[in-house]
Each structure stands twice: as C-alpha cells, then as structure tokens.
Amino acid sequence: MIRDSQNNSKEAIIQDFVLFGALGDLSLRKLLPALYQLELSKLLDKYLVIHCVIRESISIDELHEKIKSSIKLRLPEGGLNENVWKDFIARIRCTKVDLEEPVEYNKLKKILKNNSTITYYFALPPRLFDAVCDNLYSEGIINKGTKIVVEKPIGEDYKSSQKINDKLTNYFEEEYIYRIDHYLGKETVQNLIALRFSNPILSNMWNSKSIEYVEITAAETIGIEGRWGYYDGVGQMKDMVQSHLLQLLCLVAMEPPTRLNYRSISHEKVELLNAIEPITEDIIRAQYTEGEESGREVTGYLNEDGANNKSDTETYVCMRVEVSNWRWSGTPFYLRTGKRLAKKVTEIVIHFKPDQHFIFDEDQEHLSGNSLIITLQPREGISIELLTKDQGIEKGMRLRKDPLHLDFVESQKVPRIPDAYEKLLLEILNSEQRLFVSREEVELSWKWCDQAIQISKQPSQQLHHYSAGSNGPDVAKEMVQKYGHLWHEDR
C-alpha cells in the first residue's frame, strides 16, 4: 500500500519489493537513495518490505552502512534524518542468492508472503534475465499480479530485444512489465506533455508550418569512467540514441494522446517511431582524443585504462532525422550526444521560423526567429528567446536576444527537484505505467537504430575525432550549416 499525497490510507496491501543487484552501482547510487527520499516524503507505507538480494556474504549491519554512506553522499551535509533512516532500515531485509543456482531461490520463497504483491526489480546485466526469470518461475514465486522491472539496455539489437521481451512475456503479463528509461521520470520530460498540450499558444504552432528545425542534445563532460569493457561493446548510438534520445524525440513530436494514460501515450509514441524515416546519410560518428576538461588534461578514448587502441567505437554521434507525417514533413530533427564534451547539458531547442519580411537592419537578419529551450540538466527549466530593442537612445533600433526564463526551483519555491528514479519507483509501487516503455517501442527503436548503425559503419562513412573538452567534431557544425541551420550555441 502507498499513501497518497494527503497521507490518507488506501486499502492495506502488503508489498514485497525484491531488489536484485542491491550492491550494484545502480542500486547504491540511484535506487536505494530514491527509496529513502520516498520514505522521507512519507510516500512509502509501513506494509512495504524491501528485500535486498545480493551475491556475496555480508551482514545486515554492513549492508545498512553501505546504503547509509551512499545516501549521505547524495544529500546536503547533515541532511540524513536519523528518525527517517531508522524507519527506512526497519523495512530492509538482506538475502544472499546465487542467481544461477535454481535451489537458491527457495530462500526467497521462504521470506515472501503468500498474500503479498511482489515486485521484482532487475538491477542486473541482461545476460542474467533468463536465469532469474526461469528460476523464479520454477520455484513458484511468480503470481498473476507479480510485477517485473527491467533496466535498459533491453537487448543489444532488435533480435536480442525480442528474445528478452519473449522471456519476460512468457512469465509476466504485459501490464505488469515495467521497462525503464530513467529520462522519462525527469520532471522536465514530464513537463513536455503539459507544455505541449495545455498551452494553445504553443500547441497551435507545434508543426512544420511554424517550426524550422529541432535540436535534441545530451552532452556529458565525463569519459567512460573505467567502464571500457561495457562501453566499447555498446558505443554512444546504443547507449544513448536507441533509448533516451528517441524517447525525447517521441515526446516532442508525437500526436496528442486521447487520454493521459499508458496505452494512449504509448500508442502515439509507436505511431511516431513508425513515421521516422530510415537514415540514409547525415550521420556522424566520432571519438574523443586527449584534451582538457575543467582545466585538467584528460586522455583520449584509445588511451583509457584497458583500451584496445584499434577500437572504432563512437563516443559521439550526430544525425539529421526526418519524420514523415502531416505535422513534421520538412522539419528536420538534429540529434546529438557525446562524452568528454565542453559542458554537461541535456536540452531540447525548438527553432521557430522567422517572419518572411524583416524590417530591421539586414546585418541582424540572422537573429530573426524565436527559440524555445527546454533544459533537462544540469538545472531543469524552460526559456524562450525573444528579440527586443537594445536599450540606449544612441542604439537606434538595434536588436538583441533576451530570454524569458522559467526555473522550476525558483518559480515554484520547491526545495529540490526529485530525482527521476523517485518518481519512477513511486509509479511502480502504485501500479502506474504511464512513464514506462512498451515492448513495441523498444523493438521499433532497436530496428531503426540497427539500420542507422549499419549506415554509419559503411566504408564511405568516416570515424571522425574531436578534442576532449570541445563541442564535438567540426563536421557536426558543417552538417547543419549545409541546410542553413546553426546549433543553438553557435547562434
């Protein structure tokens, strides 16, 4: 059972939340701190038990200390509420299970309550999904209403994603399968729905008649952070484009859903994915070389620890995407994402078409046209750039760009913006799927991405390079410039 926002109790339902991979990076860095924040906000009920499934021997006290240290790292100094912490650890259990040994699952069967609603959260490598699903089923601890949560990557291509989804649907009903893309839990991503469909001033202009082009950017300053073994087999296309960027594209470009629910939203995203044209050109892959990040020298990708110096895996990708439907025909979407770039930012920039007749000085015509900037990180907010007169009687009618800015923290006087996982975990516990990804979305995304990867690796397609700490390769600028466009930071 979950308390609602007014702390009124609904009908009591015992819940067992089983976290596989509880000592992994995802669990310690994101999931357990998010559950603590839900406890702090009084959004977890006393009937919820959190079972931490681990693969190594550790005492419950040691587990508590690991969790506490991880949570404190993500709070302001002195931010841990000891009373809340006591309530939180009181619901935590620890069970050591060898996930590939069927007999080990009897330990779980003994501690899960017969009348409880069970949620299995797989914070695990996808290679373990098969074994864990088979063993849970064999032990008889999957019921009709049992929920399963799986993290991306759901497969490494279209065929493997089908295989994983087949396994999940063998044992769990689709309405109880929660496929996570954590971007969908971000407040600003959810605000895309409100922004687009509750503001006529925007919804009436949200089409190719008014919008010239759209940028979707996810840039990171960090490198691969010691994850060479994982990352080199994936690359930026599979790690970021297939899930995060295509999901953002769906929310920006999809048609209005008939209802604000999972089925309606997923239906429109599927329609949009079907309307994305296959990539034939205008796709750029690049790899970072040595450079500077925050004033310090950093190594190139091929010189990272454990690197294969012949690798052609991309750490940056940029592409021009076209959507073939009545709303977007003729309006390109530029997607780019990379590591070791100049600044960390995830944003969507909508470039509106300028008026056909420009009455001001010709040398300022490049300023014409407004831009709507939706920032997901580092600080969530929305701004629109307007042209105004440069103040001063000596400046005549010279123009300048000024932003009208909405900062969610400042404007709504909230102490903090919740982490995406807080919202997603709350939705799971409340059996709401609106912020999750359907099987069809996953497989269509992979099918499109597989084709784009094939095109990007043809002999005619060069692997480019860029210095760490830069904005990426110069050819990315050249690609948009040949269509008469500029990246937002170059305008």
How many residues are there in the chain? 491
In angstroms, the CA 117 to CA 147 distance is 8
Q: Are residues 130 and 194 in the same domain?
A: no
Residue 174 located in a structural domain: no
Q: Could you count the other beta carbons within 10 Å of the beta carbon of residue 226?
A: 11
Q: Where are the beta strands (DSSP E) in 271-427?
A: 283-289, 291-293, 296-298, 316-321, 333-338, 345-352, 371-377, 381-389, 399-407
Q: What is the pLDDT of residues 349-407, one digit of tens each?
A: 999 998 777 666 666 666 667 899 999 888 788 888 877 667 777 666 776 777 787 77
Q: Are residues 112 and 258 in the same domain?
A: no
- Which residues have C-beta within 8 Å of that of residue 300, sequence separation ≥ 6? 287, 288, 289, 290, 291, 468
Residue 70 located in a structural domain: yes
Residue 393 located in a structural domain: yes
Q: Are residues 397 and 276 in the same domain?
A: yes
Residue 249 located in a structural domain: yes
Token output for 374: 């939706």
Please state the domain count of the chain. 2
- Domain-ending residue, one of 99, 133, 151: 151
Nearest CA-CA partner of 211 in 321, 333, 384 = 333
Contact between 372 and 214 (Cβ < 8 Å): no
Query: Which entry of 51, 64, 182, 244 is annotated as an active-site residue?
Result: 244
Return the CATH number at 282: 3.30.360.10
Residue 172 located in a structural domain: no
Would you call 379 helix, strand, or coil by DSSP?
Answer: coil
Q: Are residues 198 and 147 in the same domain?
A: no
- Which residues have C-beta within 8 Å of that of residue 454, sequence separation ≥ 6? none
Is the pLDDT confidence value at 230 over 90?
A: no
Read off the DSSP letter of residue 238.
I
Q: Are residues 303 and 419 in the same domain?
A: yes
Q: Are residues 389 and 478 in the same domain?
A: yes
- Domain-ending residue, one of 151, 175, 210: 151
Helix axes 246-253, 262-275, angle to 10 degrees: 100
Contact between 200 and 322 (Cβ < 8 Å): no
- Which residues have C-beta within 8 Å of that of residue 343, sequence separation ≥ 6? 219, 221
pLDDT > 90: percent of the chain: 71
Return the CATH number at 85: 3.40.50.720
Q: Which amino acid belongs to residue 27?
A: S
Domain membership of residue 400 as a residue range: 184-490
- Domain-ending residue, one of 106, 134, 151: 151
In angstroms, the CA 163 to CA 154 distance is 10
Nearest CA-CA partner of 5 in 294, 430, 465 = 430
Q: What is the pLDDT of residues 37-61, one digit of tens each?
A: 999 999 998 899 999 999 988 989 9
The yes-or-no answer on residue 244 being catalytic is yes
Which secondary-structure segment (H or E) carries 467? strand 463-467
Residue 163 located in a structural domain: no
Is the pLDDT confidence value at 292 over 60?
A: yes
Residue 83 located in a structural domain: yes
What confidence tier does 172 reach under pLDDT thresholds 50, 70, 90? very high
What confidence tier does 3 reach under pLDDT thresholds 50, 70, 90? very low
Q: Are residues 280 and 409 in the same domain?
A: yes
Residue 10 located in a structural domain: no
Helix axes 32-40, 420-429, angle to 10 degrees: 80
